[in-house]
Amino acid sequence: MSLNEFIELKERVAIGEEFSFNYKNDEYWISQNPDRYYLTRVKDSFTQEFNTSEVLFENGTIEGRLLSEIYMDIDW
């Protein structure tokens, strides 16, 4: 994923879209309900919860690394 695609992903999640993507052969979901945003690893349903999409992208991690640090290795 390029930086521009990462920015687009953040914008689209903020307006209500949900996405699946792959990172190192694992599938992940970004989803939401009216109260929360979620980052979930599919294989074991490990889920992180956030109050806003901004907080998800600021604090969400995969393998201990922030999404902003690994976006270039994400396939969507």
Q: How do the pLDDT tens digits run along the chain, 76 residues long?
A: 999 999 999 999 999 999 999 999 999 999 999 999 999 999 999 999 999 999 999 999 999 999 999 999 999 8
Cα three-residue angle 7-9-21, rounded to 5 degrees: 130
Whole-number pLDDT of residue 74: 95
Query: Looking at residue 1, what is its pLDDT?
Result: 94
Give alpha helix (H) positions in the chain.
Answer: 3-14, 53-59, 67-70
Dihedral sign computed on CA atoms, order 63, 67, 65, 35: negative
Structure confidence at residue 76 (pLDDT):
82
> What does the pLDDT read at residue 29?
97
